[in-house]
Amino acid sequence: MFARIVIDLTIDQPLDYAIAPGSPEPEPGRLCVVPIGRRQCVGLCVEATPLTNVAPDRIRPLSRVISEVERLSAGWLELTRFAADYYQHAWGEVAVPALPPLLRTPPGPRFSSVLARLRGVRLKSDATAAADRLELNAEQRSSVSAITTQSGFASFVLYGVTGSGKTLVYLETIARILERDPESQCLLLVPEINLTPQLLAQVIARFPEVSVVSMHSGMGDRERSAAWLAAHEGRARIVVGTRLAVFASLPRLGLIVIDEEHDTSYKAGDGVRFSARDLAVKRGQTEGIAVVLGSATPSLETWAHAQAGRYQLLRLSQRVEARAQPVIELIDIGRSQPVSGISTELEQALQDTVAQAEQALVFINRRGYAPVLACAACGWLSSCGRCSVFAAFHKIDSTLRCHHCGWQAKAPRACPTCGNQDLDAVGQGTQRVEEGLHRLLPSARVARIDRDTTRRRGAAESAFDAVHSGATDILVGTQMIAKGHDFQRIAVVGVLNADAQLLSHDFRAPERLFATLTQVAGRAGRAGRASRVLVQTRYPRHPLLGAFARLDYEGFARMQLEERRAASMPPYVSQALLTAESRQLDQALKFLADARSARAGRNAGVKIYDPVPMPVARVGGLYRAQLLIEAVQRGRLQAFLRAWLAEVRTCAKQSKPRVRWRIEVDPQEI
């Protein structure tokens, strides 16, 4: 007998290994140790077979079956195989990295006791007092009942305005699923675990008797392995995790919830660029269970599915706890020149807020002091030496920093080209806005939250705590302040540079901007009275801002989907992006041109565009170029990619100097 094993390498087919006569035959889903060259590595058995194409003198014996760990389920194997096919990777490249650190290396002699210790790790902080059961409103109740009375696979879009209590629907649905089957498990996916401690705390408080584990990249190896094992062995009933948790082994999975399903972090990261949201839906289909996609601004892909009736739409239209919807005001800054980026209207609103001992948020999606330092005498602009972008000026330590590659240097005192000592900081970043607020409102307590202020572990949490406790009057920050935090006393929200995204070349930028604005506006809220959201713009008549001012996501989505359909863009076509990196731009472009012509004439139903430099053409000293591939039928694209990538690999081998390349299916940034 032979065992067919997948390992974490780019190879088309599983590798066959001989099973010694008399040794146990590994079943599919069993982890094994096999020799690869001179080393031993962990692989996954996907098939046991009496036949092999490998010559008898070349076949190697399997080293060891890891029988101490239960095998992975057929559903899990199907999920990873599907993901590998869809995203054009080898099965093992998806399956093996999805295992916890402990199981990715061959077990040592003390493996059993290591496992025993992991099985004893306490998986959550001491059960906090059980939360009071909140009463569900009518919409929440009917959502829960729609999801839980469904049998078999179905996708639900839980479309609820911010503050409408989506979390309560998640928790109640999970409760029903767990009650129905005493062994079932639930998976709750969240975009960024560090920004959602409130959600995790809510889950733990709501289910004090149940073992809840979290899974995210910020965990240590031991903690991660223990959580994985608990889920795999059915001891953990609820898993709260980020994108990688979509591959958690959950043999009794009964429900998948994806919170903030539109969030771009579900499709990100190094390695295989998969969409955790799309795979979660696929997983629900394979397992025959319900999948809930929650958002105040569903992704247009999801919304199109809901409109077509493929996903069932559930609406939560009311804010809970008597919190009124915010009033949105568009402030035209075309004529006035705002001081430190703050318009007089916003300044007045902030003055009033502070005078009434309420709180305000000022959102600007750019850190640093100013995005560029400029010389008015000769036109010199600060730029990164290794990237084709400006280097931002950070006044706090007087540095120039590249936000793409991390390069930094002391900011020059005088223009390096003409010697002019009077350099201008152009535009605004969080530091400059913070400085401006100190000047405009000297008595206000201003705090800033961005990547620079929160590098230290726990720094973000203590800054947020200061807002919750009332020790901060005005919070300035980037996207980090928009996610997950439910503040209680925010009377005013200011949005400073929405225009940058309004004018972006990326066809997904409007969708992202609308989601960000909605999320930022959602932080505004206090019991009883409406809060104000002031958006500063030079384009107050822009239809996107108009829709946002009416809090009309549905109108916006309709408008965008019409545009996308007219222009043949996703979700009406499927795309893949081949990108290449090289020391020379020409090399990267030539590689893509060769790759393009490798399959000329054999691409029926598939459109291949010309190779072009990427929008940021140089990062960290390497030039980057891209080739877009598109098809109306997803199946056509998949079939094309499968055949084509073998030829791309050949082109890559022949290209000198070496070109780094990768393929991304359903790219999010083009």
Q: Give contact residues for Zn ion (rule: CB under 5 A).
A: 375, 377-378, 380, 384, 386-387, 402, 404-405, 407, 415, 417-418, 420
State the nearest-atom distance from the C-beta of 379 to Zn ion, in Å.
7
State the nearest-atom distance from the C-beta of 459 to Zn ion, in Å.
25
State the nearest-atom distance from the C-beta of 407 to Zn ion, in Å.
5
Closer CB to Zn ion, 387 or 629, in the complex: 387
Closer CB to Zn ion, 213 or 400, in the complex: 400
Closer CB to Zn ion, 418 or 527, in the complex: 418
Q: How many CB atoms lie within 10 A of CB 151?
A: 9
Q: Which helix (H) or strand (E) holds 654?
A: helix 634-654
Residue 205 and residue 131 in contact, taking contact as beta carbons nearer than 8 Å: yes
Residue 393 and residue 506 in contact, taking contact as beta carbons nearer than 8 Å: no
Question: DSSP states of 491-529 as a string?
Answer: EEEEE--HHHHHT-S-TTHHHHHHHHHHHHHHT-B-BSS
| C-alpha–C-alpha distance, residues 5 and 373, integer Å | 56
Tell which residue, 490, 504, 585, 570, has the closest CA to residue 542.
Answer: 504
DSSP 571: T
Closer CB to Zn ion, 391 or 561, in the complex: 391
Per the DSSP assignment, residues forming a β-bridge with 575 are: 630
State the nearest-atom distance from the C-beta of 395 to Zn ion, in Å.
19
State the nearest-atom distance from the C-beta of 413 to Zn ion, in Å.
12
Closer CB to Zn ion, 3 or 619, in the complex: 619
Closer CB to Zn ion, 103 or 374, in the complex: 374
State the nearest-atom distance from the C-beta of 417 to Zn ion, in Å.
5
| C-alpha–C-alpha distance, residues 93 and 101, integer Å | 15
* Whole-number CA gyration radius for the chain: 27
Tell which residue, 206, 212, 263, has the closest CA to residue 236.
Answer: 212
Tell which residue, 276, 247, 252, 283, has the closest CA to residue 93.
Answer: 247
State the nearest-atom distance from the C-beta of 376 to Zn ion, in Å.
8
Question: Residue-wise over 322-338: b if at least 16 C-beta within 10 A, else e?
Answer: ebebbebebbebeeeeb
Residue 264 and residue 508 in contact, taking contact as beta carbons nearer than 8 Å: no
State the nearest-atom distance from the C-beta of 660 to Zn ion, in Å.
17
Closer CB to Zn ion, 9 or 378, in the complex: 378
**What tokens appear for 338 in the block?**
């705002």
State the nearest-atom distance from the C-beta of 434 to Zn ion, in Å.
24
Closer CB to Zn ion, 61 or 385, in the complex: 385
**What tokens appear for 226 in the block?**
């223990």
Closer CB to Zn ion, 320 or 377, in the complex: 377
State the nearest-atom distance from the C-beta of 505 to Zn ion, in Å.
20
Closer CB to Zn ion, 379 or 635, in the complex: 379
Q: Where are the alpha helices (DSSP H) in 523-584?
A: 543-549, 553-566
> CB neighbours of 486 closer than 8 A, spacing ≥ 6?
163, 198
